[in-house]
Structure 1
Amino acid sequence: MDVQEVLKLADDLVFINTGKHLDNLQEVILRGTLQGQKYSKIADEFHCSEGHIKDIASALWKLLSEVLGEEVNKSNFRVRLEQVKFSNLWNFNKHIVQIGEVNFCENNSQSPKVPNSPTDEEPLNKGNSESKLRQFLAEMPKCGIFYDRTSELTTLKQWILQENTRLLAILGIVGIGKTALVAQLVQQIKDEFDFVIWRSLATSPPLSILQTNIIQFFCRGGAPVPAPNADGVVVSENGATTGGLPLLNYLQKYRCLLILDDVQMINSSGQLAGNYKPRYEDYGTLFRQVGELCHNSCLILIGSEKPREIAALEGENQPIRSLQLNGLGAAGGEIIREKGLAEHQKWSELIEQYRGNPLWLKIVATMIQDLFNGSIYEFLSEEKLFLGDLELLLDKPFNRLSESEKQVMSWLASETAPVSISKVPENLQLSRSQFLKVMQSLGRRSLVEKIPEGDRTFFTLCPILKEYVKTNYSRPNI
């Protein structure tokens, strides 16, 4: 293959999986790589920094790795693409047909397949030729050390396998372990499903692109495309239409486990929780119909903000549920032990301060080693909680807040004890209705703690969030 052929194939693969062609800089990087150029040389020719070229290249190798299901890097890029040329995937784009605004795979007796892909398992015969196990988990993080979440796993397995929960949200603040929990869950229940697909919404793909991409997975797994009727509408086996969302037909025809991670990224920043970005409202339609239509599949949403559809439809006797993930408690001591910290008598205090958040504990334990010679006692003796790298971690969720949410967070951070919301603090300049909406939104973002006392509920912030808010936001005039 010459340089132009390789570039054309790379562009085709990226377009099929993302709906976007290579941009000029990506093409320059690939061309330079094929010609044996160093990143510094490519940077000089494109008049930018070498660091910028490395960042773009790293993202590009990651994208191509996800597309091909195996590692792609600067040294093996050409070889990987040449392997693809002589596989069925080279003709993959020939198996795509257009129906409306959505691409589908044509029915073929032999579905295209990525060579040597670790995420595409061989079909397992369950006594039915259509019942093939296919797992597409390239975007699922590898399961490393898993800290005690036995009760949560038991609950989730019961909801999904025994109670046929169709729509499920796993929620919690950054670092709490949502993705790790679901990855562990998938390993334990994946053999119960015909298809298992994990996709990240971190890049905010439009639903049309995500839907096309997922349907391609079904096609690669041998699933035939549901045919439209004379009016061009796809009707499910039970006679129901799916509101122009053909993905739902697959969820009804097969038993599927579909996981969407980083769901908060399709919501707008600077607004209350649950407001979709412009032209992303069709995600809400998808979530609602997945919860309402009859099928044996399960859609799991992972995020830091509860979708409004979940909030409106969930219930104990409903096939729509949510699990609010809390800290590890005493099990967080395992993280402290791994980091080599002694002073066992101080572990519980440290865990409580950082609310048993696995990632927070890892970060603070590293800080204690670096700055306090491993002494938890000395660290806790500081007058103020030290945030360190936690501050950068918390910037992401806090940058998504509306101005009214920032005001209320500042008020909560200034209070020394949990507060009632029976009346609005005068100087917040919010109506009663606005104030309640903000409190509800902060709860859906997992940023406030609720403390029941008798028939009343009080609200507060955990110590880390209080310190972050005091450091980064000026207190309103109250």
Structure 2
Amino acid sequence: MDAQEILNLADDLVFANTGKHLEPLQHSILRNAWQGQKYSKIADEFHCTEGHVKDVASELWQLFSKILGEEVNKANFRVRLEEVKFSNLWNFNKDFVHIGNVNFCENNSQSLKVPNSPTDEEPLNKGNTEPKLRQFLAEMPKSGIFYDRTSELTTLKQWILQENTRLLSIHGIIGIGKTALAVHLVEQIKHEFDFIIWRSLATFPPLSILQTSIIQCFSWGCAPVPASNADGVVVPENGATTGGLPLLNYLQKYRCLLILDDVQMINSSGQLAGIYQPGYEDYGTLFKQVGELSHNSCLVLLSSEKPREIAALEGKNQPIRSLQLNGLGAEAGEILREKGLTEDAKLSELIEQYRGNPLWLKIVATMIQDLFNGSLSEFLSEDTLFLGDLESLLHQPFNRLSESEKQVMSWLASETAPVSISKVPENLQLSRSQFLKVMQSLGRRSLVEKIQEGERTFFTLEPVLKEYVKTNYSRPNIEKEARSPFS
């Protein structure tokens, strides 16, 4: 964090607790504390005595000590604020304080209580006042241009609001728009919940760290802590066991929308889809219990791989659902037009080649402008499907594949037409059972296309993926070892 970030955070904390912003002298005290400067320098700058600066500073350190619940002084101020930042105690989005549609608690000192400390339980809504919307969206990307996903949004809203889906996954290949869809979903249904919390697993935090971070949001949002027994253990209101996961008690007590992005990052690379990294298996327990226990909250998982718990528990009449996000249709033409491609008659051909993937189309449209002066006809006349910057983007999901998955992908890329999996190809050294597991895993990663013809099912690769695999697997072994992204 730089000095300006510290000042912004400090100002947010003071405003949320006092309703007032930092004064210029207070700003200067904090800035100089960050830089390790003496109070005499501040006194010269503000034409006042050093004693006056020390008095203002003393009051300021007392205020921050009260806000953070631990001693704060000039020597440790920087460390204390960085701890707040990196433990996600504070939402850096300005919506967190009393601005716009978000209300911070009236008695802000309540928000600083440790989640397991005793507190008087109060309803979130008093009298006829409107419900307080508590948003913790600092890790949610900003909403950009949204391309038509009307049917997907309608489906998701029905599942969550009408059918009370408790556990939901939105999965699909990289660039397909999972996060963008979730951002717009949040905007449309946020007023139906007491708490909205968005967390990314991109840095693969252990569940204990994530759970503490999320529970702190309830504390900062002034939510009464679920009742605990004499030993400080939270007691579920319905008596159901939560398997030692206190977060579940909060999901039962309050109506929450919790979004976890980049869920694939807690899975192991080099193995079939859905196998957790060592030490992260308790995430599976969390997902399973969120789906099985009774509550009015919803946990949304955004991932390039369909979680195994979802696959095992989902069903039409179950509160566990999944949505595999596919590419855009004709509406993807708007992406290309924004990039300056004007040959409308050719747009559908390009969209089909890149399967309507929004990010892929943006990348290829930039390449067409750079190399073909925006001529879509000239680009499409080439015999080879160009990948350009797409190749490096695709390294990420392909680096996660197991050796058996790479073998099967190579086989699918070598076939000119969709194939049946009624028998194991002769060139694959896999048993029937292994082969079927690999095909299922590739499907959960959204790396194979399934084509239904009558009662028969065939499989193939999208043109982009087929070209990627051919490019990275067809070289001589020595060259592939030196250059392949799979090594």
Same fold (TM over 0.5): yes
Separation (CA, whole Å) in 2 of partners of 1:345 and 1:460: 27
Q: What's the secondary structure of 2:156's corresponding residue?
A: helix
- The Cα shift of 1:126 comes to 4.3
Separation (CA, whole Å) in 1 of partners of 2:391 and 2:262: 20
Contact 1:411-1:476 within 8 A present in 2 as well = no
Within-5 A mapping of 1:351-430: 351-430=351-430
Cα deviations by residue, 1:17-40 (Å, 9 ceiling, x for unpaired): xxxxxxxxxxxxx99x8379xxxx
Return the letter of the residue paired with 1:158. Q
- The Cα shift of 1:133 comes to 1.9
Contact 2:263-2:301 within 8 A present in 1 as well = yes
Q: What's the secondary structure of 1:196's corresponding residue?
A: strand
Report the equivalent of 1:141: 141
Determine if the alignment matches structure 1 residue 92 to structure 2 residue 80.
Answer: no
- The Cα shift of 1:346 comes to 0.6
Separation (CA, whole Å) in 1 of partners of 2:473 and 2:191: 48
Rate the CA distance shift 1:119–1:414 in 2: closer, same or farther, 3 A.
farther
Contact 1:139-1:199 within 8 A present in 2 as well = yes
Separation (CA, whole Å) in 2 of partners of 1:141 and 1:188: 16
Rate the CA distance shift 1:88–1:113 in 2: closer, same or farther, 3 A.
farther
Separation (CA, whole Å) in 1 of partners of 2:180 and 2:69: 34
Report the equivalent of 1:132: 132
Return the letter of the residue paired with 2:328. L
Separation (CA, whole Å) in 1 of partners of 2:372 and 2:476: 35
Determine if the alignment matches structure 1 residue 244 to structure 2 residue 244.
Answer: yes
Contact 2:175-2:359 within 8 A present in 1 as well = yes
Within-5 A mapping of 1:212-227: 212-227=212-227
Separation (CA, whole Å) in 2 of partners of 1:163 and 1:390: 38
* Identity across matched positions, percent: 78
Within-5 A mapping of 1:10-89: 34=35
Q: What's the secondary structure of 1:238's corresponding residue?
A: coil
Report the equivalent of 1:22: none
Separation (CA, whole Å) in 1 of partners of 2:196 and 2:373: 46
Rate the CA distance shift 1:311–1:260 in 2: closer, same or farther, 3 A.
same
Runs of 4+ in 1 over 3 A off after TM superposition: 33-36, 82-91, 112-117, 123-132, 230-233, 474-477
Q: How many residues align?
A: 394
Separation (CA, whole Å) in 1 of partners of 2:401 and 2:414: 18
Cα deviations by residue, 1:209-233 (Å, 9 ceiling, x for unpaired): 0000001111000112224324654
Please give the TM-score of this superposition, normalised by the length of structure 1: 0.77
Return the letter of the residue paired with 1:320. I
Rate the CA distance shift 1:315–1:202 in 2: closer, same or farther, 3 A.
same
Q: What's the secondary structure of 1:428's corresponding residue?
A: coil
Segments of 5+ residues of structure 2 without an aligned counterpart are 14-30, 38-57, 72-88, 106-123, 478-487
Report the equivalent of 2:156: 156
Report the equivalent of 2:103: 122
RMSD of aligned Cα (Å): 3.1
Cα deviations by residue, 1:356-388 (Å, 9 ceiling, x for unpaired): 000000000000000001011111111111100
- The Cα shift of 1:237 comes to 0.7
Separation (CA, whole Å) in 1 of partners of 2:307 and 2:196: 22
Rate the CA distance shift 1:91–1:349 in 2: closer, same or farther, 3 A.
same
Contact 1:270-1:403 within 8 A present in 2 as well = yes
Q: What's the secondary structure of 1:249's corresponding residue?
A: helix
Rate the CA distance shift 1:276–1:115 in 2: closer, same or farther, 3 A.
closer
Q: What's the secondary structure of 1:218's corresponding residue?
A: helix
Contact 1:234-1:241 within 8 A present in 2 as well = no
Segments of 5+ residues of structure 1 without an aligned counterpart are 14-29, 37-81, 96-111
Report the equivalent of 1:297: 297
Report the equivalent of 2:317: 317
Determine if the alignment matches structure 1 residue 211 to structure 2 residue 211.
Answer: yes
Please give the TM-score of this superposition, normalised by the length of structure 2: 0.75
Separation (CA, whole Å) in 2 of partners of 1:284 and 1:186: 24
Separation (CA, whole Å) in 1 of partners of 2:63 and 2:292: 40
Q: What's the secondary structure of 2:224's corresponding residue?
A: coil
- The Cα shift of 1:240 comes to 1.3
Rate the CA distance shift 1:452–1:144 in 2: closer, same or farther, 3 A.
same
Considering only CA atoms, is the larger Rg found in Structure 1 or Structure 2? 2
Rate the CA distance shift 1:420–1:194 in 2: closer, same or farther, 3 A.
same
